[in-house]
Amino acid sequence: MAPPRNRRPGFSRRAQYSLFAGYVVAVAGSLVGAVLLALSTLDPVAFAALRASVAEVSTPLSSGLAGIGRGIGSIPSGIGSYFAVHDQNAALRKQLAAQHALFLRARSLSYENRRLLALLQVRERISEPVVTARLVSSSASSTRRVAVLNAGSWQGVASGQPVRGPEGLIGRVLETGPNSARVLLLTDPESVVPVRRTRDGIPALATGRGDGLIDVKSVALTATDFGPGDVFVTSGIGGIYPPDVPVARVLHRGRDASIARAFTQADTVDYALVQRAFIPPAPPIPVPTPAPKPVAAPRPPKKKP
């Protein structure tokens, strides 16, 4: 049924008052708007003062209402954060318990290692530092990658000694003078360093490319996959370089070979440490096994007369 066209409130006084109040508010709003428009046009200074006064009065109220709105709106996120923090706390407690178990195991292994070393009287051979000197120059455009050290034979520097910086290995001394020495950098094609991968001990060889990078080639009997971020340190095999000195980090994925970047760049290093050549521990001397003594044959018993 269609609604009647007559929308008069009839005899309901409440409806009449509501309609009258609506008219009054509309007329009053129109008058106030007209007055403010005229005031802003005729007297901008007075209008600006009035606007500032209204803003001062309404700011606390609007701030309170905004705070109430933010508080109501943050209730769902707060509930979600509570459950998320509870789950994260449980996961962290579990991880802490696992790390504590690993810590106890590592401490036990460290104690056992020290005890065995003391029992076997094993002496670790660590390369002693010779001198700390400044790298005064390095070749960046030549095919040979060498640097000049401002220390030489008068300071105890000798050919073949390893040179390292704060971040890792730089190279080895190539030749010396009285107060200077030439250092063969890791990136030189003539540089070959025995290395191993830190996460699993896979042996490899780090060879310079001549372009500022290093080729890392596996020498393991099985196929080896290299991934970006693999770290290689010196293995100590063959002498010269002490073990566990950072050498390079792999840049690209490869199989049995990959390209890496040295941790230490000679053109960014001010001072370098020259060490004595590393001497690997000598193989154990075999102890001769004494030959067994021949067993004498038993004598026959004497006959009585």
pLDDT band at 2 (very low <50, low <70, confident <90, very high): low
What is the structure's pLDDT at 40? 73
Residue 289 inside a domain? The answer is no
Whether residue 194 is found in the same domain as residue 225? yes
> In the chain, how long is the greatest CA-to-CA distance?
166
If asked whether residues 208 and 160 sit together in one domain, one would say yes
The SS3 assignment for 276 reads coil
| Residues making up the chain, counted from first to last | 305
Tokens of 63: 């701030």
Between residues 209 and 25, the one the model is more confident about: 209
CATH code for position 168: 2.40.10.340
Q: Which pLDDT score, from 0 to 100, does residue 303 have?
A: 61
* pLDDT recorded at residue 143: 64
Same domain, 209 and 133: yes
Residue numbers of the domain that contains 91: 43-116
Domain endpoint, select from 116, 143, 172: 116
Domain boundary among 83, 116, 149: 116
Express each pLDDT in 148-193 by its tens digit.
888 888 888 888 899 988 888 999 998 888 888 888 999 888 889 9
Answer whether residue 197 is part of any domain: yes
Sign of the alpha-carbon torsion through 232, 236, 238, 240: positive
User: 0.85 exceeded by the pTM?
Assistant: no
* Residue range 278-285: mean pLDDT, rounded: 67
Q: Is residue 148 part of a domain?
A: yes
Total number of domains in the chain: 2
In a domain, 292, yes or no: no
- Ranking 157-166, 248-257, 266-275, 294-303 by mean pLDDT, the lowest is 294-303
Amino acid identity, residue 300?
Answer: P
| 3-class DSSP assignment, residue 261 | strand
Q: Would you say residue 281 lies in a domain?
A: no
Domain match, 96 and 204 both: no
User: Are both 215 and 243 inside the same structural domain?
Assistant: yes
Q: How far apart are CA 207 and CA 218, in angstroms?
A: 11
Regarding whether 175 and 80 lie in a shared domain, the answer is no
Q: Is the per-residue pLDDT at 33 higher than 50?
A: yes
In a domain? residue 302:
no
Query: What integer is the mean pLDDT of 78-98?
Result: 77
- 140 and 247 co-located in one domain: yes
234 vs 212: CA distance, rounded Å: 19
CA–CA distance, 92 with 99 (Å, rounded to integer): 10
